[in-house]
Every structure is written in structure tokens, then in C-alpha cells.
Structure 1
Amino acid sequence: MAMTDPLGDMLTRIRNGQRAKMDSVLSPASKLRANVLEVLTREGYIRGYSDDASGKHPQLRIELKYFEGEPAIKHVARVSKPGRRVYSGSQEIPTVRNGLGITIVSTPRGVLSDAEARENKVGGEVLAEVF
């Protein structure tokens, strides 16, 4: 059966992996997923990611990050879903936990965090929120 929300699936794999205290998780590879992982790496929520060609299909190995035994990501949620897309202008991008978290936005200039999108004065589709 086809997956209806690939990005939501990747975020769920990250959430479940951190609850199980895993070092890394695997997710099917795509450009959007890689771009979202790049933002999470830049912002310090994951240690990094790499391509994993050990299986039949290309996958991404996501290295999870912990701080004193606690996961670096306390909450991760999909905002814009296939059934209800959420778009926002550069000035209306929501802040997460008064700026302690990030909002991941897909813009014409690529996938950016909320601070980068405001700095570049671009809006777009609000993909997820992380803190």
C-alpha cells in the first residue's frame, strides 16, 4: 500500500526511535526528507544523517542525539498534512515555545527553519514543529 504522508512517517520513526533509546533509525530516502534532516542537523536536534544503500531501496540513516540520557527532541509534530495544507507568509510563521523550538518551512528558496525564513523574508508551507 502506498504511503500517504512520507514526511510524517519519517518524523514518527524519529520519535519512536528516541523513545526506544536507539542510536539511529532508517527511513526511505527522498529529497524532501533529506532537506528536512539538513535543517534538523543545522539546528542541533540530530547528530546527522547519511545515505544507506545496504538494502534493496535507498534509505537514510538518521543519527539520533541525546543530552544526559534525554532525547534532544522533546516534541515533533507534522503541521501541514495531506488532507489540510498549511501555508504562512514570512511575518506569520508561527513560533514554537516562544522561540525555544523551530518550525520547518518549505519555501521557494528550499526547506528552512522559521528564523531563516523570516531573515530571507520568504513564506511557504509549514511542514513541522520541533522542540
Structure 2
Amino acid sequence: MLTDPIADMLTRLRNANMALHDTAVMPHSRMKESLARVLEAEGYISGFEVNDRDLTVRLKYDSKRRRVLSGLTRASKPGRRVYVGKDDIPRVLGGMGI
């Protein structure tokens, strides 16, 4: 059992991205599916599929096979929660990050 499934998902995406794989496969959960939906809507991944108990994320690269997804980090973790007000959330990449 994983204690931090979101960190596991981000690690799988980072590793597959660094190895220039086309897809990353991970155990499915509704939370991971929601996160994949946001990443797809923001244009960081090509898409995703839910198969039985797995979530398959299709990674996105530009025409020269350069990575679109970079700098994935988790701000709030189970061992170190970060609470901020909406006005205190920093603008990432000049408002272009999520």
C-alpha cells in the first residue's frame, strides 16, 4: 500500500518522461484520474486511458522529441503539509504553470 499515491504518480511520470517513453502506466484511482484530466486540459500530456485497474498516461513531446512536461514537484506532502491562502499562492512561470 502506498502512503502517497500522488507522489508515486508524479515519480512515474517524471521517470517515463526522462526515458522518453510514450506512455506511463500506474495503478488507477479517481484522484490520479482527476490529476491526469487537469494535466491533459492544460496541455502537458496527450491523453490518458483507464484500463481495468491501471491508468495509462500518454506523454507529450514536441516535434523535435523534446519534453513538454518538466519540473513536476509536490508542494504539500503527508509528512509536511503546506497550507496557504489563495492570495499567497505564488504565480508559477509567470502564470503559465499550474
Q: Shared fold by TM > 0.5?
A: yes
Residue 66 of structure 1: aligned partner = 61
- Identity between Structure 1 and Structure 2 (%): 42
Aligned to 1:109: none
- TM-score normalised to the size of structure 2? 0.92
Bigger share in strand: 1
How many positions carry a matched residue from both structures?
A: 97
* Offset, 1:97: 2.1
Q: CA deviation at 1:100?
A: 2.8
| Counterpart residue number, 2:13 | 14
User: Over the residues paired in the alignment, what is the CA RMSD in angstroms?
Assistant: 1.1
More helix by percentage: 2
Asked if 1:45 corresponds to 2:41, the answer is: no
Deviation at 1:95, TM superposition (A): 1.6
Residue 44 (structure 1) shift: 0.1
Look up the match of 2:27.
28
What is the TM-score normalised by the length of structure 1?
A: 0.70
Structure 2 residues without counterparts, runs of 5 or longer: none
What is the CA–CA distance in structure 2 between the aligned matches of 1:69 and 1:10, rounded to whole Å?
22
Show CA shifts across 1:87-126 (max 9, x none): 2222222221222321xxxxxxxxxxxxxxxxxxxxxxxx
